[in-house]
Each structure stands twice: as structure tokens, then as C-alpha cells.
Chain A
Amino acid sequence: MDLLDNLALGFSTALLLENVVYCFIGVLLGTMVGVLPGIGPTATVAMLLPITFNFEPVTALIMLAGIYYGAQYGGSTTAILINLPGESSAAVTALDGHEMARQGRAGAALAAAAIGSFVAGTVATVVLAVAAPPLARVALQFGPAEYFSLVLFGLIVSIALARGSTLKALAMIALGVLLGTVGQDLYTGEPRFTFDQRELYGGIDFVSVAVGMFGVAEILRNLENEAGRTALVSTVRNLWPTREDRRRIVAPIARGTVLGSALGVLPGGGHVLASFTSYAVEKRVSKRQQEFGHGAIEGVAGPESANNAAAQTSFIPLLTLGLPAHPVMALMVGAFIVHGITPGPNVIADEPALFWGLIASMWIGNVLLVLLNLPLIGIWVRMLRIPYQVLFPMIILFAAIGTYSLGFNAFDVYAIVFFGLLGYVLIKCGCEPAPLLLGFVLGPLIEENLRRAMIISRGDATVFLTRPLSAVLLALAAGALVLAVLPAIRKRREVVFTEDD
């Protein structure tokens, strides 16, 4: 069979000692920069790109890809341990993961994330090997109208990220979307809400928002009652998931993997939707809905699997069509070009060893990540024993350095201050930050696609309903909104009834 021959070629390439070594260096660096706030995979890949000019092309791409998915792994560690997400997907992991850490179950959370990611990565690699070209064709059916509807659906779904009031969650989502409009308008180049500061032309950086609303706000809350609190974590209970935990994560991992693999294929923003759609699904199907937000292991396992699966399948448009879906992949296109390979649909046929070697290396990379991360869990958990008086200055300093290093832009650091204070006040008022963060990430996508769809349809707004895929997604969004609002109304009625009695 062709597939077996191809995989054999892939593994024979990926298992060359040199390639395994650079794959390891890639995932190791990825994990490190994922753990540190700020410096993300994009900056790292950009920094290392020139070094890879001297490598074999396949080795270079294996390492760069390793940095990308390694960072997806590392990001969850910081989110779980200190509630500091570096990417939107990690913000989802932080919700229940950090709660688990506070309850002394950081080990179980980290292990669930690692196992989920590994399973998802393995399945997604198979998907990539078996069905990449047809899936890429499907993805191309998604035009601006479909992306608008998809992202709107995603925004509604993210109400599920909040524990409390639906109204406040909606307001936080909308506020996030609004903050996402700061910066130069894509369509006219006009700077919006930038107060004539050229540093703001590129918009507010996600890392500033996340570090402020999660990291700084969390620290301020911890410092409210210092007398009553000595350590961040009560006691570390079991390091590994219990039998009960293991039973509970099986289905979320499976669902998350399927969901992530599917969404990851869409180059226009499917990847960012993966983890929190999975969270919303888990919360809805769970019999223990009240546990979500208070340390439900399903809320870590599902989104982490979805995220890693999506990270893997988001390579499909790049590998089969030469179309990058993420800034890291745009950099990898640069790497292709420098090595004299024209990225495009011909890569599979012209460079089979490179194509299949890269796919095989992703599975090897996932094995390496598990081998690397499981032993590290013990060390990470021990880090929680660092006295809080050492830990919080470390978080603040590293966050400031990491954020500054994004673009050597002091505004990114000032933005932390703004969002830290805003987040702190809003959290005290019962508004949770996760929906805002997702609104912030998805807002630009929704505006961009709304305006683009309107231009292409010549101002005809019915395009969102006449294109079947878009109509289905809009119907789903409407359904999700009803589902989210109904329980609140029903509860209100119950309250009214009890008072009447």
C-alpha cells in the first residue's frame, strides 16, 4: 500500500539520528518558550530561522515544527501552575487546571494535559498522513461568510467559559471584541483608538492582555488577605491521576481530539476555536457541570487534546497547498524558500522524503514531549512550594521581560498595567476574564470576515444565510445562545417561585 511505503519513507527520514536530535532540540526549546510568558513560538522560530539555513531542509523544518507544537505543550504548564496563559488555548486550560493546582492536584492536571496531548497528537498525525490533501480541499470551501459565522458561533460558545452570570460573560466577550479593534484598520490603514501612538498601530498584544487579566489580577487577589494565606497551594495530594481521574479523561480526550483535528484544518482561525469549543462541549455533556471552573479534570484533558490535535492538523494547508495558517508557518514558508523548495501543492510529489519525514517527525516529537514532560511534572509541582513572596516577583519580572521582548515595545508592558487593574476590578465585580480574552482573539477575525464577506457579496447581507455552510453555523450559534440564556431565565423563575411561597 502506498501509505505504508510513504510512512516507511517518512520514518526512515525522521529517525535519522540528526533529525531525532534536532526534533528533540525543537520540542525542548518549544517547551521552554511555551513555559516562559511572552516569548512565544513565533519569536523563537524567527530567531532560529537563520541558524537553520545551514541544515538539511527536512532537518530545519522538523526542528521548527517541533518548536511550534512543543510550545503548545509548554504553554499549558504555566497556565496550570501560576494561572498565566501565553496563548488563547492556554487560557482555557487555566480555568480548571489552575483550580486543580490550588487544590494540590497540579500533578494530575499536568499529567492529564500531557496524556491528552499525546493521544491527540498521535491521532492527528495519522489524520495528516491519511487524509491531508482531501481535507485541505474541504478547508478551501470556507470563505469569508463561513468564517464569520464560525467565529460568531465560537464567541457565543465561549459564554460557557464563565461560571457565573451569562449577562456578564456576554459583556466580557463584547468588551474583548471591542479591545481587539485597537490598532490600524486592515481595510483602510486608518489607526483606530491609538491616541497617535505609533506603537499601538499593531494593536494591543494578546500576551499583555493575558498577563494582565490573568497573571497580575490573580497576584493582586492573592495579596488581598496575606495574613490568611501562607502558600499558594494547600498540600500537594497525589502526583499522578487517580483511577477515577483516568476514567474521567478518556471520553474528553477522544472528543477533544476529533474536534481539534477537524477545526485545525481551517486556516482562517479554526485552530484558536479548538480548545474552547472542546471546553464548552465537555461542560455541556458532563453530569458534573457545577464542577467546571472549580477543578474538573475534564476541563483540562478535553481542551488540551483539542488544542494539540489542531496544532498538528493546522499543518495540512501548509504541507498540501503551501498556505500558512499561523505566523510560525509563514516563517516555515520562508525556510522552504531559503532551501530552494517552492512551497505549494507540488511539495508532496517533488519532495516526498521531506513531506513524509516531517509528518513522521511530528509523531516522534510527541513521544519525545511525553518523555520530556512526564518526568518534569515532579519538578513543576515542587515549584509550587516556592514561597509566594519569591514566586510573585518572579512572575511579574519574567512577564515584563517576556512581554517586552515581543517587539521591544514598552507599550506592551504598560498595557499589562492597564489590563491588570481592569481585570482585577472586573473580577471583583464577578466578571471572569476568560471570555474577554477569547473575544479579544476572535474579534479581529469576525470584523475582518464580516467586512470581507460584504465586499465580495456586493453589500448583500443575505450571503450569510444563502451559503449553506454559513447558514448551518449561524443556526448553531443561535441554538447555543438560547441554550446559554435559558438556564439563567429558568433559574430566575425558580427564585421568583420560592419567594412567592
Chain B
Amino acid sequence: MKSVPDLVAGGIFVLIGGAFVVGSLSYELGTPLRMGPGAFPLLVGAIVAALGLAIAVKGLVAGEVAEFGPIPWRAIAAIVAALLFFGFTVRGLGFVPTSAVTALLTTLASKRVRLLAALAVTGGLTVAATLIFVVGLQLRIPLFGPWLGL
């Protein structure tokens, strides 16, 4: 009886825990009196990796068979793209264009999106966000950024 989710979860924990263990070795470990920056991450990283191993072993031996279920690739792509776009351009393009494109990209995450609806949502959200964050809360992000040469 193998449980794929258990194996994946265990693998992630081992991977991240292991990476932190390796990383922490490059920092000083110190003494018990004055622990260095590496000591605590080393300890916790080892615990995470050990727990991950336990989860994986348990999944191999006595896992409950579970389906992973469908993965919404389209939604993942759209939302990741939207957030990365926001981070990359908000300084350069400014608040309004960045918000609009981010909103538009996000609406594409749904399979049932229709162009007109998406544009309406984009427009509405951009206006709402501008009014709430820039007008209302006085956020110091320029409405239109330097890249637009305005």
C-alpha cells in the first residue's frame, strides 16, 4: 500500500530540511554558551528531514491510498504570472497599469472566463484598488510609473 501524497510530502520535508542543514553548515555553529547562527537551523533542519523521512516511510508501509486529484495548471500559471508581473513592474509602470494587468492575468485563471467579463472585472478592480489604496489609504505608489515616461 503506497500513498503518493505521503511520499511527496515526505520528500518535500526531506528536501527543504536537508537544504537548510547543508546551508547552515556554512555558518558558524558556535558553542553551547554562544550558539552561532548555524546551530539552530541545523538542529531544526535535521528534525524536519527526519520527520519527512518518517512520513515517507509510513506512506510506503502503511499509507492510506489517496488520490492526488486534478491539478489546475492553467490557474497556477495565470496566478503565478500575475503575481510575478506585479512584483516586477509595480515600481516601473506604477500602480494603475500594474494593477490592471495583474487583475486581467488573474481572471484568466478560471476556465470559464469570457473576454468581456474579464475586462469588466479588470476595470472595476483597478478603479476600486486605486480608490481604496491610493486615494483612501494614501499609499505612496505613483499612479503611473517612470517607465511610461509621463
Say yes or no: is A247 at the interface (Cβ < 8 Å to chain B): no
On whether the beta carbons of A459 and B33 are closer than 8 Å, the reply is: yes
Q: Assess A167 versus B55: contact at CB under 8 Å? Given A223-B75, A405-B133, A461-B32.
A: yes
Using a CB–CB distance below 8 Å, which chain A residues touch chain B?
A: 33, 36, 39, 47, 165, 167-168, 170-171, 174-175, 177-178, 181, 185, 187-188, 190, 192-193, 216, 219-220, 223-226, 388-390, 392-394, 396-398, 400-402, 404-405, 408, 410-411, 413-414, 416-417, 420-422, 424-426, 428-431, 443, 447, 450-451, 454-455, 458-459, 461
Please state if A398 and B13 are interface contacts (CB–CB under 8 Å).
no
Q: Are B137 and A413 in contact (CB under 8 A)?
A: no
- Contact status of A177 and B44, CB under 8 A, knowing A220-B75, A396-B79: yes
B33: nearest residue on chain A (CB-CB)? A459
Report chain A residues within 8 Å CB of B117.
389
How many A-B Cβ pairs are below 8 Å?
199
Chain A facing B: main interface SS:
helix
Contact yes or no, A174 B51, CB < 8 A = yes
Distance between Cα atoms of A93 and B67 in the complex (Å): 29
Residues of B within 8 A of A421 (CB): 76, 80
Residue of A nearest to B133 (CB): A401
Q: Does B143 sit within 8 A of A, measured CB to CB?
A: no
Q: State whether A393 touches B107 (Cβ < 8 A).
A: yes
Point out the residues of chain B lying under 8 angstroms from A451, CB to CB: 34-35, 40
Q: Which residues on the A side are within 8 Å of B72 (C-beta)?
A: 220, 223-224
Interface residues, chain B, with chain A CB atoms under 8 Å away? 5-6, 8-9, 12-13, 16-17, 20, 23-24, 27-28, 31-38, 40-41, 44-45, 47-48, 51-52, 54-55, 58, 66, 68-72, 75-76, 79-80, 82-84, 86-88, 90-91, 95, 99, 102-103, 106-107, 109-113, 117, 121-122, 124-125, 128-129, 132-133, 137-141
Nearest B residue to A188, CB-CB: B37
Contact of B106 among A396, A404, A414, A428 (CB under 8 A): A396
Q: Are B9 and A168 in contact (CB under 8 A)?
A: yes
The contact sample of 24 A-B pairs, CB cut-off 8 A, is A171-B9, A185-B27, A192-B24, A192-B27, A216-B79, A219-B75, A223-B75, A224-B71, A389-B117, A393-B103, A397-B102, A397-B106, A400-B102, A401-B86, A401-B129, A401-B133, A404-B86, A408-B140, A413-B86, A426-B9, A428-B5, A428-B68, A429-B9, A459-B32
With A175-B13, A390-B121, A425-B12 known as contacts, the answer to whether A396 contacts B44 (CB < 8 A) is: no
Query: Which partner residue on chain B sits nearest A226 by CB separation?
Result: B111
**How far does the Cβ of A365 sit from chain B's closest Cβ, in whole Å?**
21
Q: Which residues of B contact A216 (CB under 8 A)?
A: 79, 83
A47 and B35 in contact, given A168-B9, A178-B44, A425-B12 (Cβ under 8 angstroms): no
A36 CA to B129 CA, complexed, in Å: 11
Q: Is the interface of B mostly helix, strand, loop or mixed?
A: helix
Shortest CB distance A19–B (Å): 24
Closest to A414 in B: B87
Q: Are A410 and B87 in touch, CB under 8 angstroms?
A: yes
Which A residues are CB-close (under 8 A) to B86?
400-401, 404, 413
CB-CB < 8 A to B140: which residues of A?
Answer: 408
B17:A178 contact, CB within 8 angstroms: yes
Asked if A171 meets B41 with Cβ closer than 8 Å, knowing A193-B20, A224-B71, A405-B133, the reply is no
Contacts of A414 in B (CB 8 A): 83-84, 87
Query: Of all chain B residues, which has the CB nearest A400?
Result: B86
- Leading 8 A-B pairs by shortest Cβ distance: A459-B33, A429-B9, A413-B87, A171-B51, A185-B37, A410-B87, A429-B5, A223-B75
Q: Which residues from B are CB-within-8-Å of A424?
A: 76
**Contact residues in B for A390 (Cβ distance below 8 Å):** 121, 124-125
A392-B109, A400-B86 known; 17 new pairs, CB 8 Å cut-off, are A167-B55, A171-B13, A171-B52, A174-B51, A175-B13, A178-B16, A178-B48, A193-B41, A220-B72, A225-B70, A393-B109, A410-B88, A411-B87, A420-B83, A426-B9, A454-B32, A454-B34
Q: Give Cα A436–Cα B41 distance, bound, in whole angstroms.
A: 16
A177 to B32, CA, bound (A): 20
- On whether A174 and B33 interact (CB within 8 A), knowing A401-B133, A405-B133, A430-B6, the answer reads no
The verdict on A174 contacting B44 (CB below 8 Å), with A226-B111, A393-B121, A451-B35 known, is: yes
The answer to whether B55 and A171 have CB atoms under 8 Å apart is yes
Q: Is the CB of A430 within 8 A of B5?
A: yes
Q: List chain A residues, Cβ under 8 A from B113.
A: 389
B48 touches A397 (CB 8 A): no
Which among A47, A168, A410, A458 has the greatest number of chain B C-beta atoms within 10 A?
Answer: A168
Residues of A with C-beta under 8 A to B68: 428
Asked whether A397 and B40 contact (CB < 8 A) given A390-B121, A451-B35, the answer is no
A102 CA / B3 CA spacing, docked (Å)? 29
Contact of A192 (CB < 8 Å), options: B37, B99, B121 = B37
Whether the pair A168, B84 counts as a contact (CB closer than 8 A) is no
Of the candidates A167, A225, A392, the one whose C-beta lies within 8 Å of that of B54 is A167
